Amino acid sequence: MSDFFSFFRKYREISTLIILILISSISIGLNNSEKLINPKEAGFTVFSAFQRGVDGIGNFFSNTVNSINELSELREAYEQLQEKVTEYSEIERNIEELKNENADLREQLGFSKTSPYKNIPARVIGKDPGNTFNSIIINKGSTSGIERNMPVIALKDGYHGLVGKIADVGAFTSVVIPIYDESAYVSARLQESRYEGLITGRGYSDSILTMDYIKKIAREHIKYGDFVITSGMNSLFPKGIYIGRVTAIEGKEWATSLQLEIEPVVEFTTLEYVFVLQRSEE
């Protein structure tokens, strides 16, 4: 035993390196096993609190700046009102703009009530800290009823578009794997022609998706701009959720199936609000 300790003292740095590599490797190996307490979820809960904090500070400064701007605008309007009564038309115009803004927000928030799916609204608070993995972090976790593999959608131009699925859940935050991730597979269907295929991502938030395994016979029935929706077959995702539109059709002579390029309905680079669907209400 004393030999071991003297060896460790002699090669302290390299021994520590080996121990740290072993811990990391075991941790990666254990990652997929079912555990009573998931260390990744526990750690995510702790450190995502910092993310919420940073997000909160960012919002505080942004709201303060907005408040100052609003106060300044109000003062200007007041001075103008004192000078001329006709300035009321300007105020009416401002009210009209606010009404439009409110209508947009109502469309987002009201989706919860009008949607055919029971859902949990959430806000995007961060993304993966590195560039190797694709993930989106939202501000709702297990305390809000979110569970692993729940589908996530977003409202865009009146369409409910597929965002991805829940991968990890903390107490107050969750990690979403988006459909543009290379590991994401979604069973899909062309809305018009009803042909089925499999959607895969290319790993970039600003890139298109690929739809594979569509029967060649479908070629004459598919048009550019056709919508692709979830098929609901053998999938986590309920059927009928919009995925994207066809932007290119590729059918090589030697291939047995067609390949389509799909532009996602959801704009991932500017995504702010999402809805997590509860599976039982499909």
Partner 1 sequence: MRRNNFIFGLLLTILFVVLQSTLLQKIAVNGVVPDIALIIIVFTSNSLGTMKGQMLGFIAGFVQDFLSSGPLGFNALIRTIIGFFFGKIKGKLFLDSILLPIIFIVAASLMKEALIALTGFIFIADSQIIFFGRDFFIELGLNAVLAPFVFALLKLLKIYRINEKGGY
**Interface residues toward partner 1, by CB under 8 A:** 12-13, 16-17, 20-21, 23-32, 39-40, 43-44, 46-48, 50-51, 54-55, 58, 125-135, 137, 167-168, 175, 177, 181-183, 203-206, 269
Cα separation, 19 vs 244, whole angstroms: 48
Question: Looking at beta carbons only, is 246 or 271 nearer to partner 1?
Answer: 271
- Closer residue to partner 1 (CB): 137 or 153: 137
Can you give the three-state secondary structure of 94-106, one letter per residue? HHHHHHHHHHHHH
* Residue number, 53 or 116, with CB nearest to partner 1: 53
Minimum distance of partner 1 from residue 142's CB (angstroms): 15
Question: Where in the chain does DSSP place strands (E)?
Answer: 119-127, 136-138, 151-156, 159-169, 174-178, 185-190, 196-200, 209-215, 227-230, 242-250, 257-264, 273-277
Give the list of residues 6+ apart from residue 39 with CB closer than 8 angstroms, or none. 27
Pick the closer one to partner 1 by CB: 88 or 204.
204
Phi, psi of 240, deg, nearest 5: 90, 5
Question: Which residue's CB is nearer to partner 1, number 16 or number 69?
Answer: 16
Q: How far is the CB of 198 from partner 1 (least distance, A)?
A: 14
The nearest distance, CB 233 to partner 1, in angstroms, is: 22
Q: List 261's β-bridge partners, or say none.
A: 210, 248
Q: How far is CA 80 from CA 42, 93, 215, 254, in A?
A: 57, 14, 67, 73
Minimum Å distance from CB 183 to partner 1? 5
Q: Tell me how far, at minimum, the Cβ of 52 lies from partner 1, in Å.
A: 9
The total number of residues written for the chain in this structure: 282
The candidate with the shortest Cα–Cα distance to 155, out of 105, 194, 190, is: 105
Name the token pair of 104: 């947009």
Nearer to partner 1, 62 or 94 (CB): 62
Cβ closest to partner 1, residue 133 vs residue 273? 133
- Measure CA 86 to chain center: 47
Q: Are 273 and 108 in contact (CB under 8 A)?
A: yes
C-alpha distances out from residue 192 to 52, 211, 241, 261, 272, Å? 42, 15, 14, 16, 30
Closer Cβ to partner 1, 28 or 85, answer by number: 28
CB of 209 vs partner 1, minimal distance in Å: 14
**Dihedral angle over CA of 139, 180, 276, 99, nearest 10:** 80
CB of 133 to partner 1, least distance (A): 4
Closest approach, Cβ 67 to partner 1, in A, equals: 20
How many whole angstroms separate alpha carbon 189 and alpha carbon 192?
A: 9
